[in-house]
């Protein structure tokens, strides 16, 4: 059995990996395409982020992605303030999602518990700085299967990038078991064969590296008319393929219901309250 990753907010530790349910990561704290949220971040008004955190937790999210990257704002300041604001109202573990290493550092300094750094990839300018930052803060990190040439079109290519990130982690003194591999879902309109490649990558990473995997669900339906059904179907496929966590919109009730059902059908729902809830 492979290795999992332990993350924590201000509440209980959450394990992501083999032997655990596929975890729901709430992805709504992101200003992309949301001008009201971007304006709130720029003005330092965090109530909207706090409301998003509460709503996602109530809808069943087990972790929260926090991405506050927007124009005309200091990224390190914004990430730190957002983390403090979210943790003031929500106990869930956080993914600190930022382009700049400075923003990730700001979020790590502000965070309580053990957040997940999102992300390190194999681009030269980013790989070592992010891994060293995660090492220095004893934080797990998402390994994004992307390099300077882009996203490989094959599962084998993505595995090779994951292997390079593992090698770099060892080089800087970060234990490989702290890596959670993002196997990357590409838009269906851009890469019709992409779903099969993504799910094959999950199997290869598990078999060859023994590491946990995640993906972003909504990427698959970008530009499509019927996004909800596509997202829900992809969630089911990801769970059955052994993916360990999915970033999604927890307010999409169909996708969340499918996630719970797929976990149960795959035998990935722990005994006790989780199973009872399925029958209620």
Q: Give residue-wise pLDDT tens across range 207-254.
A: 999 999 999 999 999 888 889 999 999 999 999 999 999 999 999 999
Rounded (5°) CA angle 123-130-115: 130
Q: Match domain 5-267 to its CATH number in 3.40.50.720, 3.20.20.20, 3.90.226.30, 2.30.40.10.
A: 3.20.20.20
- In 3D, which of 81, 87, 31, 41 has the Cα closest to residue 64? 87
Domain coordinates of the chain in residue numbers?
Answer: 5-267
CB 242 within 8 A of CB 211: no
User: What is the rounded CA–CA span in Å between residue 138 and residue 74?
Assistant: 25
**How many Cα atoms are found within 13 Å in the side-chain-facing hemisphere of 103?**
20
CA distances from 32 to 94, 129, 138 (A): 18, 25, 29
Q: What is the mean pLDDT of the chain?
A: 94
Q: Which residues are CB-contacts of 167 (< 8 A; sequence separation ≥ 6)?
A: none
User: Averaged over 71-100, what is the pLDDT?
Assistant: 97
Residue 70 confidence (pLDDT) above 60: yes
Residue 165 confidence (pLDDT) above 50: yes
**What pTM value is reported for the model?**
0.94
């Amino acid at each position: 059995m492979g290795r999992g990753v332990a993350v924590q907010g201000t509440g209980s530790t959450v394990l992501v990996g083999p032997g655990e349910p596929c975890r729901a990561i709430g992805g709504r704290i992101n200003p992309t395409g949301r001008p009201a949220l971007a304006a709130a971040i720029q003005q330092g008004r965090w109530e909207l982020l706090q409301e998003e955190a509460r709503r996602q937790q109530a809808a069943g999210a087990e972790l929260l992605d926090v991405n506050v990257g927007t124009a005309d704002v200091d990224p390190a300041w914004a990430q730190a303030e957002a983390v403090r604001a979210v943790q003031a109202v929500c106990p869930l573990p956080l993914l600190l999602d930022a382009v700049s290493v400075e923003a990730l550092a700001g979020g790590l300094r502000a965070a309580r518990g053990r957040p997940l750094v999102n992300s390190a990839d194999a681009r030269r300018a980013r790989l070592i700085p992010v891994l060293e930052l995660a090492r220095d803060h004893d934080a797990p990190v998402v390994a994004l299967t992307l390099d300077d040439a882009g996203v490989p079109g094959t599962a084998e290519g993505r595995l090779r990038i994951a292997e390079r990130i593992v090698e770099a982690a060892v080089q800087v003194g970060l234990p490989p078991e702290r890596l959670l591999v993002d196997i990357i879902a590409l838009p269906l309109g851009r890469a019709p064969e992409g779903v099969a490649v993504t799910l094959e990558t999950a199997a290869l990473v598990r078999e060859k590296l023994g590491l946990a995997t995640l993906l972003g669900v909504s990427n698959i339906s970008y530009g499509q008319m019927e996004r909800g059904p596509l997202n829900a179907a992809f969630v089911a496929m990801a769970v059955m393929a052994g993916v360990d966590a999915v970033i999604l919109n927890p307010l999409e009730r169909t996708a969340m219901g499918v996630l719970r059902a797929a976990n149960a059908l795959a035998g990935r729902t722990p005994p006790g309250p989780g199973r009872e809830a399925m029958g209620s």
